[in-house]
Each structure stands twice: as structure tokens, then as C-alpha cells.
Amino acid sequence: MKYEVLVDFTCKETKHVYRIGDKYPNKGRTRKGRIEELLSSNNMRGQPLICVMEVEEVKNG
């Protein structure tokens, strides 16, 4: 799955600064627990910081 940043934040684990509209993670992979934390309000900011990106289906023909 791909994720998009909803709110500007600095990752506490990598210290990378994410801006609204960025993809998460910026490179590599991250722990499932960390993604769940950022998708929910169970984080230091108390609000979801990322969301699942919608993937459009491409139809040929």
C-alpha cells in the first residue's frame, strides 16, 4: 500500500520532515505498527498524519 501525508510532521524515528502531499515513507519500508500509529490518532499529535492513497484503475481499450 502507498500512503500520503495529511499534516506536516517530522518522523520521530528517521527525523525526516514530511510535508502535506508527500508519500510515506520517503524511501524504503517501515514497520506495520508505525504505519498504524500514523494512520490513527494514537500518536504524539493526536490526529491521523497519513492516509492510504487511492489507486486509480487504468483501463486499456
Give the pLDDT confidence of 20-48 residue by residue, as tens digits.
999 999 988 899 999 999 999 999 999 99
The CA distance from 14 to 2, in Å, is 18
Q: Is the pTM of this model over 0.85?
A: no
**8, 50 Cβ separation under 8 angstroms:** no
**41, 47 Cβ separation under 8 angstroms:** yes
**40, 46 Cβ separation under 8 angstroms:** no
pLDDT at residue 5 is higher than 80 = yes
The CA distance from 47 to 61, in Å, is 42
